[in-house]
Chain A
Amino acid sequence: MDIQWQALIGGMMIGVASIVFFISMRKIAGISGMVKRLITSSKSSIGDWWPLLFLIGLMLGTLIYSYFFNVEPALRQGYPKELLVASGLLVGLGTYIGNGCTSGHGVCGIGRLSKRSIVATVTFMATAVITVAVMGVLS
């Protein structure tokens, strides 16, 4: 299949997953929010562990795709560790302070026509584009 079609259909699946999740849980399918929830909120009942199940699902879905379609996803290895560490720290700090990432603000927030999320998405897209441009100049 054409890569554009794959991207479009994959994107639609992400949209469907977010909508089904909202219909059944009345919650936003934001990934950074789920990690945050796992770290911070008290888990008084077993049902409060649902974010962990969603994250396990993410891994499962990617594994199923690569297994059944026999596509080894193009994995990158040997990327500079200091860049990975700096990136992880900033993504953790930023999504916690800004309350969301590509899924929560991007897919769900824009989907809900939330002004906050539209501003957040424009902001992180802009700084990401600038960062890649600066890295391009420096390398």
Chain B
Amino acid sequence: MKNTATRKMIIALFCGTLFGFGLAMSQMINPDKVQGFLDIFGEWDPTLAWVMGGALLVSIPGFSLLLTKEERAQIKQGVIDSKLLIGSALFGIGWGLSGYCPGPAISVSPLIIAELMWFLVPLVTGMIIARLMLRKE
């Protein structure tokens, strides 16, 4: 089937909905729970390990069946550079500060928009700043 605009939109909406349902069911949308999961030196709540576990239980065998030889070769060529490390480190600090990462924050935003605006507007701003910084290099 051709990748028509309508097809793309329907797939994106369907997969997004399933993804959002999974995030809500698994409690990933609860930032207290996320911070409890990250608090391994305090009162650790390991529940959310099951979410990543469940997702990988599907995604690892799924991708291993689906990836073509070319795609595998391309993945192998990926380079670990300072951008990857610095960016990921900053993201982790941000994630810990609030307990929100992008997916759950967007998913839950209609339910508590007043609170989430204080996270989502800075998120977009941060991306725009990063874009300007990387352009200057």
Expressed in whole angstroms, the minimum distance between the Cβ of A121 and any Cβ of chain B is 8
Which one of A57, A73, A92, A132 contacts B123 once the chains associate, using CB atoms below 8 Å? A92
User: What number of A residues sit within 8 Å (CB to CB) of B?
Assistant: 106
The answer to whether A123 and B111 have CB atoms under 8 Å apart is no
User: What number of B residues sit within 8 Å (CB to CB) of A?
Assistant: 103
On whether A90 and B58 interact (CB within 8 A), knowing A25-B8, A75-B108, the answer reads: no
A interface footprint on B4-26 (CB within 8 Å = 1, 0 otherwise):
11111101111111111111111
Expressed in whole angstroms, the minimum distance between the Cβ of A102 and any Cβ of chain B is 5
Residues of B within 8 Å of A114, CB to CB, are 75, 78
On whether A91 and B30 interact (CB within 8 A), knowing A11-B22, A25-B8, A31-B106, the answer reads: no
| Interface set, chain B 76-126, CB cutoff 8 A to A | 76, 78-80, 83-103, 106-112, 115, 118-126
Expressed in whole angstroms, the minimum distance between the Cβ of A135 and any Cβ of chain B is 7
List 16 A-B pairs, Cβ < 8 Å: A15-B55, A18-B15, A19-B62, A25-B11, A31-B103, A39-B128, A49-B9, A59-B109, A61-B22, A62-B107, A69-B25, A74-B32, A91-B126, A94-B88, A94-B91, A110-B60
Given A8-B54, A14-B23, A88-B98, 10 additional A-B pairs, CB 8 A: A11-B50, A11-B53, A14-B54, A16-B22, A59-B107, A59-B109, A74-B30, A90-B91, A114-B78, A116-B84
Top 5 closest pairs, chain A to chain B, by CB: A57-B16, A98-B87, A92-B126, A11-B54, A61-B20
